[in-house]
Amino acid sequence: MLFVDFDKSLPEAGPIAARVGEAGRVVSATVLDMGEPVDLTGSSARFVAPYGESAVESPCSVEGCVASWPMPCFSEPGRFFGYVEVSKGETVATTHDIAVAVSEGAA
């Protein structure tokens, strides 16, 4: 399991290994704020990875302080960075970077 924090000064989390063209493997991360678990009850969340001119996204399920999402599909290999975006009411917060290492070939 990953640990991701709203503190952007932390080093990147991960990397999460992915393969070109594959999607759906569920990834979970404990969401922290300055090292303390965040209660995500009543929040919505999504994983976002800027990718070229757009981004790949995946909705998260939340339980307690854990956000889980199915990995979105990447169409080319490389090292990309994503984050978890958490929304509650009018407040939106994003975590520090999560590295995603996308490789060619079958698993």
Q: Domain range spanning residue 29?
A: 2-103
Smallest Cα–Cα separation from 8: which of 82, 97, 91? 97
Is the confidence at residue 53, as pLDDT, over 90? no
**What was the pLDDT predicted at 106?**
59
Domain count, the chain: 1
d(C-alpha 74, C-alpha 71), whole Å: 9
Is the confidence at residue 107, as pLDDT, over 60? no
- The CATH number that applies at residue 53 is 2.60.40.3350
CA angle 33, 14, 82 (to 5 degrees): 70
Q: pLDDT of 13-45, one tens digit each?
A: 999 999 999 999 999 999 999 999 999 999 999
- Residue 54 banded pLDDT, cuts 50, 70, 90: confident
